[in-house]
Amino acid sequence: MTDAPRGPGSGSEPPGPPVVSVLRTEADHAWLPPEAFRVLGSRRVLVSGTGPLVDTVHGEVAAACERFGGTVTRAREGTASAGSAYDLLLCLEEAAERGDEGFTLARERGRTVVTATGQRGLLHGLFHVVRLGAAAFDGEHAPEAHRPALATRMLDHWDNVAVHPVMGQVERGYAGGSLFWRDGRARGDLERVRAYGRLLAACGINAVSVNNVNVHEAEAHLLTDRIGDVADIADALRPYGIRTHLSVTFAAPVVLGGLTTADPLQEEVRAWWAGATERVYAAIPDFGGYVVKADSEGQPGPFAYGRSHADGANLLADALAPYGGTVHWRAFVYDHRQDWRDRTTDRARAAYDHFVPLDGAFRDNAVLQVKHGPVDFQTREPVSPVIGAMPRTRLAVEIQATQEYTGQQRHVCALAPMWSQVLRFRPGGAAAARVGELARGGLVAVSNAGDDPYWTGHPLAQANLYAVGRLGWQPDADPLALLDEWIELTFTPEAGPDPERLRAGLRAVLRDSWRTYEKYTAPLGVGFMVQPGHHYGPSVDGYEYSPWGTYHFADRNGIGVDRSRATGTGYAGQYAAPWAEVYESAGTCPDELLLFFHHVPYGHVLHSGTTVIQHIYDTRFEGVAEVAAARETWASLAGLVDDARHARVAERYEEQLRCAREWRDQVNSYFLRKSGVPDAHGRRIH
């Protein structure tokens, strides 16, 4: 049942939300600038199906038609075969299976046809058409099926409800304040939250956890007496198909419920969680579930009761199960009070040692959330050996979009190439599955967004947020293709005077920026040479004598951590073949991870042919030169990018260059003084 095309937003029934609702925010349009919707202009569009997300699709199309011309017709039902009078059909099929995110896209008889069996699929289909631009209306082709490889694509916000005396409003947040909370209260800026949900949906994200994994008192109460605040956020995100999750404290029965114990095997504790969870679902019927950081960096957990992490996770999984919720239980468990004199305790080993023996013990709705590397989001780490070692457990891979260790959104550091390397890694060797296939529990990223007008502080850090969603949807996607996609959408180059120069310039400053960052910071996988506490800028010995377990062991002869089985901590032995062998020997270990696995003399010759010490010097000089070149390239784009954005990035490049020089000079001076080996090229080292 369809209407003939009529005026914009004037379809039959039911009406979509007010057209302006997709545009009413001061924040940057990011990858959804109005111009990106020009492709829908002058088209005759049919949106068919019923439901709140179909309303959203209709509202989006109507807004585009209002701006660029074109017509949209709304029909309660209608299939791809209906309506030859349309250029674009967006149809929810009758056999609608709720929650299905896939869609098909066809070009037939001069029409573009998107069909979906679930409302979220229809929304993804619309954004796909926008992404394709004019190509979506070219030629003819048979239906292509699109569906996300990973069912959960989630952002964890490390947002504090109350300002934390050390961490501020957002822990490791470099994009201003929280989108959700300010000074202990809900911000209530739900239009901004809705705009955020819209951006996330357009890149493929479908879940958001709204508070810090370090749950302080103010955050703890979100679970009970302040669940209404969370429900408001959920209401704002729901029209874009985003489910809301909450970080909770394992000690909630004690802290909030007045019990004397949080022991996961005690009946009263189980009853408390069941009751609390029932009330959460009464407020938020499509609530996603809990995120838990337990027995980790001081957070409470099951160890206090002599229970395992499976006992802990299953307690919450059981409370959530009646409602279809999931617990994301983090595997970031290690001893953060270790003695640096003790060379046998290796933080890198911890997650594997704690969790792999529990494989098979977790409920189906418990997801073990594992950081992609064994330590902590360093610029370069091997892939965590936990991934691939727990075939009977649903694992989610956690990455960090917020640039805690990668320049804090003052430096350009496009992280998709790193994440892509992780997702394409095959823990079981060449013929085995990739991480992107093993992550059955999804892809989770620590969000880099805040209340900054550009969302991410550094406008170019939007590329990282975009890539999270796209890689979750398609973990084997080419990161450079994703970068190009982001550039096309965000900057809509064709709308400017010199599209090719703009494209080339943006590509040049972003594509290898992670490797550039790596070059001027910590060498060869050694990691952690940052200033303690805030983690910005160099401090070679910052964590060398600390209880956090992150050391480089540099002395006058050499550097690196011996993690071999033969002579070191045995960490290399946590990998399956062939990696256990590859990493075991300094001769076969890849250069970029050498110092993560081995302590070697400064004169050790890398596969690249240079010595370790010369590599340290060379890469630091190269890194600074690359930043200087990128700054120039950016300067040359003045006039092709809007002035305010251009100025913001230019200003950050000044800081990046200053900081890169500081890294170069501190790292090089440190190692010259330790090793006494001069730079082969005679450059100035202080």
- Active-site amino acid positions: 297, 376, 404
Q: Based on CB atoms, which residue is closest to ligand GCU, 55 or 171?
A: 171
Distances (CA, A) of 636 to 271, 365, 502, 640: 63, 52, 9, 9
What character string, x for contact with ligand GCU (CB under 6 A) and - otherwise, covers 402-431?
A: --x---------------------------
Q: Based on CB atoms, which residue is closest to ligand GCU, 297 or 655?
A: 297
Residue 334 is a binding residue for ligand GCU (CB under 6 A) = no
Q: Are residues 194 and 240 in contact, defined by beta-carbon separation less than 8 angstroms?
A: yes
Neighbouring C-alpha atoms within 13 Å toward the C-beta of 520: 30
Q: Based on CB atoms, which residue is closest to ligand GCU, 156 or 318?
A: 156
CB of 543 to ligand GCU, least distance (A): 11
Residue 354 is a binding residue for ligand GCU (CB under 6 A) = no
At residue 145, the 3 state secondary structure works out as strand
CB of 376 to ligand GCU, least distance (A): 5
Residue with tokens 């909630």: 252
Single out the residue of 43, 293, 470, 604 in contact with ligand GCU (rule: CB under 6 A). Answer: 293
CB of 399 to ligand GCU, least distance (A): 11
Q: Based on CB atoms, which residue is closest to ligand GCU, 171 or 626?
A: 171
d(CA 512, CA 504): 13
Residue 543 is a binding residue for ligand GCU (CB under 6 A) = no
Q: How many residues bind ligand GCU (CB under 6 A)?
A: 9
- List, in sequence order, the alpha helices (H) in 69-133: 119-132
Residue 172 is a binding residue for ligand GCU (CB under 6 A) = yes
CB of 364 to ligand GCU, least distance (A): 25
**Of residues 262, 259, 330, the one with CA closest to residue 294:** 330
Q: Are residues 43 and 85 in contact, defined by beta-carbon separation less than 8 angstroms?
A: no
Residue 376 is a binding residue for ligand GCU (CB under 6 A) = yes
Q: What angle do CA 164, 166, 169 make, to 5 degrees?
A: 40
Cβ within 8 Å of residue 146, ≥6 positions away: 102, 103, 104, 105, 124, 125, 128
Residues 438-477 that bind ligand GCU (CB under 6 A): none
Single out the residue of 55, 60, 171, 263 in contact with ligand GCU (rule: CB under 6 A). Answer: 171
Residue 243 is a binding residue for ligand GCU (CB under 6 A) = no
What is the chain's length? Answer: 686
CB of 655 to ligand GCU, least distance (A): 21
Residue 338 is a binding residue for ligand GCU (CB under 6 A) = no
d(CA 615, CA 33): 43
CB of 171 to ligand GCU, least distance (A): 5
Q: Are residues 367 and 441 in contact, defined by beta-carbon separation less than 8 angstroms?
A: yes
Residue 159 is a binding residue for ligand GCU (CB under 6 A) = no
Residues 518-537 that bind ligand GCU (CB under 6 A): none
Neighbouring C-alpha atoms within 13 Å toward the C-beta of 321: 13
Cβ atoms within 10 Å, residue 281: 16
CB of 158 to ligand GCU, least distance (A): 7
Q: Are residues 582 and 547 in contact, defined by beta-carbon separation less than 8 angstroms?
A: no
Single out the residue of 169, 214, 393, 464 in contact with ligand GCU (rule: CB under 6 A). Answer: 214
Residues 57-116 that bind ligand GCU (CB under 6 A): none
Amino acid at 265: L
d(CA 409, CA 407): 6
**Of residues 185, 158, 184, the one with CA closest to residue 173:** 158
Single out the residue of 174, 180, 290, 332 in contact with ligand GCU (rule: CB under 6 A). Answer: 332
Single out the residue of 213, 246, 439, 487 in contact with ligand GCU (rule: CB under 6 A). Answer: 213
Site residues (CB under 6 A) for ligand GCU? 171-172, 213-214, 293, 297, 332, 376, 404
